[in-house]
């Protein structure tokens, strides 16, 4: 049978010599490669001193946006949750009560909005599906943690703080 490509190498089946059985040529060849790499420029970033540059299309943590008056943009339409292939977004809508016009833009708002960052694949579909530009992905990455519960971000964690409001620690 003829090979499909020319990449096939014939196997040498003759017995190994004494020098080959000691593997000295192979060890010397490996050490030569190692010493060659010692004197080359290192491809490492010293993290605290230097920051790595990300691609312009990098997608990081989610943020819920506010308009210029500080009102929430999210109208709880659910398109972000439907478009999420990992089903990481859950939300519950509620009706705006009289006197809450300064908090929400529309009559309907997201009473509960959660993103499970352990399930999220950072695809950006939620950002593309949102008709109100309420959610977008920033250039910060998810911090490490020891508890699974801390990776479920609620609405308070995702909302941009109102002007003059300090972020909770």
Q: Residues annotated in the binding site for [4Fe-4S] cluster, as ranges? A: 74, 77, 80, 84, 120, 123, 126, 130
Residues in the chain: 169
Q: Residues annotated in the binding site, as ranges? A: 74, 77, 80, 84, 120, 123, 126, 130
Tokens of 129: 């599906």
């Amino acid at each position: 049978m003829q090979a499909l490509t020319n990449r096939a190498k014939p196997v040498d089946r003759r017995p190994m010599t004494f020098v080959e059985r000691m593997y000295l040529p192979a060890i010397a060849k490996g050490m030569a490669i190692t010493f060659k790499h010692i004197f080359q420029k290192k491809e490492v970033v010293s993290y605290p001193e230097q920051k790595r540059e990300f691609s312009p299309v990098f997608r990081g943590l989610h943020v819920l946006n506010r308009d210029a008056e500080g009102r929430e943009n999210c109208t709880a339409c659910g398109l972000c949750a439907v478009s999420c292939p990992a089903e990481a977004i859950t939300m519950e809508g509620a009706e705006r009560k009289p006197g809450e016009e300064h908090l929400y833009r529309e009559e309907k708002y997201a009473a509960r909005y959660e993103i499970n960052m352990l399930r999220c694949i950072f695809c950006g579909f939620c950002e593309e599906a949102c008709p109100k530009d309420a959610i977008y992905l920033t250039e910060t990455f998810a911090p490490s943690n020891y508890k699974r519960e801390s990776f479920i971000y609620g609405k308070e964690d995702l909302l941009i703080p109102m002007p003059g409001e300090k972020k909770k620690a």
